[in-house]
């Protein structure tokens, strides 16, 4: 039987803890799989940043990319490798680069998702350029910001159209606060979005390939407590709706890894932020949920590498739009969108692959997350973020939460 090694690359920025755990758990699994008559094994390597020949071969079969949004050299290397070498990357760098929050709101509104009322307003200030003043004199229209706020209704949120990490987000309760926040917004292009009130549940649904995890989320808490450790806090119907929404959004934009925020108001789930296609992956925020992320990452990357999954470099939206145009309730449309999404992610084949080749992952992972390797990864991440006098306290906190996960998932 011929032997083939599949190479997985990690394109990293400030990531510390999850790559350590991903690499160590992959080594511990020590996989050699029989795939279509070949003996397939796996190697993982961190992708360096260096000059490259545009026709330089790419050694990787799959790359987990964390730099597309932040570092241009790595982004262009990734795009080059997809075009010239059929590299599979999550996430799609073209889509991640161009599909900001604004585009995702527009697209999901067209599909009928109950996105809160949202306006885009021109920036308060501009970066000067030779053509700026002639353009503004000819085409910039005066507008009444307060009137727009009144149309949306208070409270509302002002937030960057392309934002992330809660940067530049302001809760607005009246006209005076709206004008004050806008006057401080500088050159940012802003959304004004209706607040969803009242709401009884705030959920982040993390999707990774055809896998998802529901997290009860508290944005008002300190970072280490925002991802709550609740169990069974959703009904089966709520879980179906949220998982379908997440998978549809991810498939629509060509994202393998994304987190979607939604609020439940009067029994309806209102998506409020679902373009987070470089999701938080650190133990210092995920803690209890961190092992799930590592395992989901391993399953999907191993599956993609072993099966030579093809990169969906081009987005195909017309099938979604055809469903959107049908005269039927949104719930029925969502079911049909979800079928397209599951086909996009080859969900049935993925489940069969995991059952055949990775049935031992849960047991191996449960043991691994009690190891010194994990404890050291936690400490390294804590040392990078916390003052020295808090390192021991928070290292122990995150370690204890992962041990709680082990207890809940043993046997």
Distances from the Cα of 119 to the Cα of 1, 96, 231, 265, 363, angstroms: 60, 22, 36, 21, 49
What gap in Å lies between CA 116 and CA 153, rounded to an integer? Answer: 11
Q: Which tokens hold the place of 292?
A: 């799930």
Q: How far apart are CA 361 and CA 29, in angstroms?
A: 7
**Coil vs helix vs strand at 8:** strand
Question: What is the DSSP secondary-structure string of 173-222?
Answer: -SHHHHHHHHHT-TT--EEEEE---S-SEEEEEEEESS-EEEEEB-TTS-
Predicted local distance difference test score (pLDDT) of residue 165: 64
Contacts of 318 by beta carbon, 8 Å cutoff, 6+ apart? none
Instruction: Give the helix, strand, coil percentages of the chain, each rounded to 5.
Output: 45, 20, 35
What gap in Å lies between CA 112 and CA 393, rounded to an integer?
Answer: 46
CB atoms within 10 A of CB 55: 8
Strand partners, 4: 40
Task: Report the alpha-carbon distance of residue 157 to residue 359 in Å, rounded.
Answer: 45
Q: 150 Cβ partners below 8 Å, 6+ apart?
A: 175
CB count in 10 Å sphere of residue 80: 17
Which two tokens mark 83? 């075009």
User: Which run of H or of E encompasses 51?
Assistant: none
Give the pLDDT confidence score for residue 306 in this predicted structure: 97
Task: Please tell me the predicted confidence (pLDDT) of residue 164.
Answer: 67
**In the structure encoding, which two tokens stand for residue 56, read together?**
């330089």
* Domains of the chain as residue ranges with CATH: 2-98 (3.40.50), 117-194 (3.30.1490.20), 201-408 (no CATH)
Closest to 368 (Cα-Cα) out of 302, 290, 285: 290
pTM, 2 dp = 0.95
User: How far is Cα 58 from Cα 216, in angstroms, rounded to an integer?
Assistant: 40
- In whole angstroms, give the CA distance from residue 112 to residue 333: 8
Report the run of H or E that residue 274 belongs to, with start and end. Answer: strand 268-276
Radius of gyration of the chain (CA): 23
Cα gap 125→225, rounded to integer Å? 36
Identify the helix (H) or strand (E) that includes residue 276: strand 268-276
What the block records as the tokens of 199 is: 């709401």
Q: Are 73 and 292 in contact (CB under 8 A)?
A: no
| Cβ count within 10 A of residue 87 | 21
Q: φ, ψ for residue 235 (rounded to 5)?
A: -75, 165
How many whole angstroms separate alpha carbon 206 and alpha carbon 218? 15
C-alpha to C-alpha distances, 291 to 175, 226, 269, 283, 296, nearest whole angstrom: 45, 17, 27, 9, 9
In the chain (411 residues long), the average pLDDT of successive 10-residue segments reads 93 96 97 92 96 95 91 94 96 86 94 97 94 94 96 95 77 96 95 95 97 96 95 96 98 96 96 90 97 98 97 91 98 98 98 98 98 98 97 98 96 69
């Amino acid at each position: 039987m011929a032997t083939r090694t599949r190479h997985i690359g990690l394109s990293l920025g400030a990531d510390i803890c999850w790559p350590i755990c991903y690499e160590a758990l992959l080594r511990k699994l020590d996989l050699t799989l029989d795939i279509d008559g070949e003996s397939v094994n796996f190697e993982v390597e961190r992708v360096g940043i260096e000059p490259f020949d545009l026709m330089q071969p790419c050694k990787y079969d799959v790359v987990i990319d964390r730099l597309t949004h932040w570092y241009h050299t790595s982004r262009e290397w990734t795009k080059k490798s997809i075009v010239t070498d059929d590299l599979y990357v999550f996430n799609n760098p073209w889509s991640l680069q161009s599909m900001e929050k604004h585009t995702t709101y527009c697209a999901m509104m067209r599909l009928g998702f109950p996105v809160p009322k949202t306006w885009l307003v021109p920036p308060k200030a501009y970066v000067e350029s030779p053509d700026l003043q002639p353009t503004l004199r000819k085409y910039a229209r005066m507008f009444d910001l307060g009137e727009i706020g009144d149309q949306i209704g208070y409270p509302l949120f002002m937030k960057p159209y392309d934002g992330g990490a809660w940067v530049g987000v302001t809760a607005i309760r009246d006209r005076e606060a709206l004008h004050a926040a806008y006057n401080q917004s500088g050159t940012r292009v802003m959304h004004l979005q209706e607040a969803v009130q009242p709401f009884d549940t705030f959920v982040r649904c993390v999707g990774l390939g055809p896998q998802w995890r529901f997290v009860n989320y508290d944005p008002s808490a300190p970072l280490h407590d925002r991802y709550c450790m609740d169990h069974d806090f959703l009904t089966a119907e709520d879980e179906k709706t949220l998982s379908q929404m997440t998978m549809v959004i991810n498939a629509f934009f060509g994202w393998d890894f994304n987190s979607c925020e939604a609020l439940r108001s009067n029994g309806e789930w209102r998506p409020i932020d679902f373009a987070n296609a470089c999701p938080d992956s650190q133990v210092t925020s995920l803690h209890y949920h961190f092992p799930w992320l590592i395992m989901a990452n391993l399953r999907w990357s191993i599956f993609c590498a072993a099966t030579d999954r093809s990169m969906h470099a081009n987005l195909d939206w017309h099938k979604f739009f055809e469903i959107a145009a049908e005269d039927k309730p949104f719930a029925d449309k969502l079911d049909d969108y979800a079928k397209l999404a599951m086909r996009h992610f080859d969900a049935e084949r993925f489940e069969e692959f995991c059952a055949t080749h990775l049935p031992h992952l849960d047991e191996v992972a449960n043991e691994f997350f009690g190891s010194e390797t994990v404890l050291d990864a936690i400490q390294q991440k804590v040392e990078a973020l916390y003052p020295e006098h808090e390192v021991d306290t928070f290292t122990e906190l995150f370690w204890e939460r992962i041990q709680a996960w082990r207890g809940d998932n043993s046997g």
